[in-house]
Amino acid sequence: MPFQDIKDSTYKKAHKVLNKVEKCKDYNKIGYLLWDFAKVIYSPSKNKFMYFIMDEIYKHNIRILNEIFELGQHRHYDLSFHNKFLLLCKDNKIEDAIKVWEIYVNKLTSVMVSLKIPTK
């Protein structure tokens, strides 16, 4: 689906979720809000299999995501990649949007791999 076919309402929904993340003080909810954002940006895709894969990744990693947010509770979650991604998508700069999102996913992956979460 070309980016220009994505409705303005999709961008509005995505920004609304990001605003909730910015205001969120409960770090146990940030992972769920980020999955809400992902659902908004991935839902216009006709590739239901990839949507399913992303759903599985989030569902199985939500606890560790929330641990990351709780460990960094004195900081706000960095949404610069999310905002840049949306801007590039809206401007139909597909390759640039993909590169920005890859950088974000790689950064998050690095944090998750290096994180030492105590087992209970």
All structural domains of the chain with their residue ranges: 7-114
Per-residue pLDDT for the chain (120 aa), expressed as one digit of tens each?
A: 445 557 888 899 999 999 999 998 877 788 788 889 988 988 887 778 877 887 887 777 777 666 666 555 555 678 999 999 999 999 999 899 999 999 988 887 787 777 665 555
d(CA 28, CA 46): 31
pLDDT at 43: 81
Collapsed DSSP state (helix, strand, coil) of residue 107: helix
pLDDT at 2: 46
CB-CB contact of 84 with 96 (8 Å): no
Residue type, 29: K
Residue whose pair of structure tokens reads 């905002």 in the numeric block: 83
pLDDT at 28: 75
Q: Is the pTM of this model over 0.75?
A: no
DSSP class of 4: G
Q: Which has the closest alpha carbon to 25: 68, 59, 76?
A: 76
- b/e 56-79 (16+ beta carbons within 10 angstroms → b): eebeebbeebbbbbeeeeeeebeb
